[in-house]
Amino acid sequence: MKGIYPGSFDPIHNGHLDLIQRASKLFDHLTVAVYSEPEKNILFSAEERVKLIENSIDSNINNVDIVVFSGLAVEFAKNLKAEFILRGLRAGFDFELEFEMALMWKKLQPDIDVVCLMSSLEYQFVYSSRIKEVSRLGGNVTDLVPSNVVDALKVKFE
């Protein structure tokens, strides 16, 4: 079984890493798909995001790769011959957005299913946009992101 985990990962945080680690046990292979040009306020380039992810993933996980993609995630999954798209769910707000997206993806590619994992309790409030904001304002995010991301955020906001 092959899955993809698409997202902007700007930056990757411990909630993302928790999902990657857990999903690596569910799938024979998991591709972390870094969306190249999301319609968001992006701090890190796609290449920087890939490097941050590569340097954050536990070295014991050997069935995960990281790639950059553009276009529809469901089309990217089809091109990779992935059967599943992984999504994480935090409390409340995420469910509606992910449910609508899953229905659209199912309409576009009926053979690809969406697998949702509930975020671990300690990461229910963790969003990349909040991490960037807190970091920009000088707050401490060391418990929310890997150390290489803390360093990269400091460089961006100095």
Catalytic residue of the set 78, 90, 130, 156: 90
**Of residues 8, 24, 128, 135, which has the active-site annotation?**
128
CB count within 10 Å of CB 95 equals 12
Q: What percent of the chain has pLDDT over 90?
A: 85
pLDDT at 38: 75
Whether residue 40 lies in the annotated active site = yes
The question of whether 90 is a catalytic residue gets the answer: yes
Tracing tokens 């928790």 back to the chain, one arrives at 18
Which residue of the set 13, 16, 87, 132 is catalytic?
16
Ordered by start, the domain boundaries in the chain are 2-157
Sign of CA dihedral 126, 132, 135, 136: negative
pLDDT at residue 141 above 90? yes
Homologous superfamily of 2-157: HUPs (3.40.50.620)
Task: Quickly state the pLDDT bin for 39 (edges 50, 70, 90).
Answer: confident
Q: 42-64 pLDDT, tens per residue?
A: 999 999 999 999 999 988 899 99
Q: pLDDT band for position 156 (50/70/90)?
A: very high
Q: What is the pLDDT of residue 91?
A: 74
Please indicate whether residue 16 is annotated as part of the active site. Answer: yes
